């Protein structure tokens, strides 16, 4: 009985704490009217989807984006047999922001890298690389949203 009462009290306290989401389309100061994606793949579409989710239809700041997404995995270190033992995953997004009259506002390059040790389990390694890629894509998406939010 005490457990149920404590859950009710905690939920009442947390619902009235004044929580406001940081990223919300209501709070954003931009509207994306067009995205030109030069390298169409699932990772660039994931970034595009995150950016579009925060586009505010009521904003007067209407923007067009040109995005060039590059993803690479390189071997940094090999063992004595010549098999890779350490790799580096790099993601580079070159972004060109234009206003609705096609005047370039800014060009910016976003670069994220992560080095990791190679595992013997190929399936686990593939899952690990996908997880790293998703994390780096989320970081780049956050950086792009911050840039778009600071533009005038």
Nearest to 127 by CA among 135, 112, 55: 135
Tokens in use for 44?
């660039």
Task: Yes or no: say if 40 and 66 are a contact pair by the CB < 8 Å rule.
Answer: no
Domain ranges of the chain: 2-150
* DSSP annotation string for 35-92: EEESS-SHHHHHHHHHHHHT--TT-S-EEEEEEEEEEEEEEEEE-TTS-EEEEEEEEE
- The structure's pTM equals 0.78
User: pLDDT tens track of the chain, all 152 residues?
Assistant: 788 888 888 877 776 666 555 555 456 677 888 888 888 788 888 888 888 888 878 777 888 999 999 999 999 998 888 888 899 999 999 999 998 888 888 999 999 999 999 988 889 999 999 999 999 999 999 999 888 888 77
Q: What is the DSSP letter of 29?
A: S
Task: Yes or no: say if 99 and 62 are a contact pair by the CB < 8 Å rule.
Answer: yes
CATH architecture for residues 2-150:
2-Layer Sandwich (3.30)
Tokens in use for 115?
């080095």
According to DSSP, the β-strands at 104-117 and 84-99 are: antiparallel
């Amino acid at each position: 009985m005490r457990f149920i009462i404590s859950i009710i009290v905690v939920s009442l306290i947390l619902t009235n704490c004044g929580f406001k989401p940081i990223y919300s389309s209501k709070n954003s100061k931009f509207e994306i009217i067009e995205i030109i994606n030069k390298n169409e793949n699932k990772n660039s579409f994931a970034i595009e989807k995150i950016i579009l989710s925060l586009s505010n239809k009521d904003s007067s700041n209407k923007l067009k984006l040109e995005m060039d997404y590059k993803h690479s995995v390189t071997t940094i270190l090999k063992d004595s047999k010549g098999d890779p033992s350490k790799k580096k995953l790099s993601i580079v997004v070159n972004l060109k922001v234009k206003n609705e009259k096609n005047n370039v506002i800014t060009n910016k390059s976003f670069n994220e890298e992560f080095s990791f040790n190679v595992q013997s389990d190929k399936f686990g390694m593939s899952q690990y690389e996908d997880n790293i890629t998703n994390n780096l894509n989320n970081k780049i998406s956050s950086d792009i949203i911050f840039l778009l939010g600071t533009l005038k």
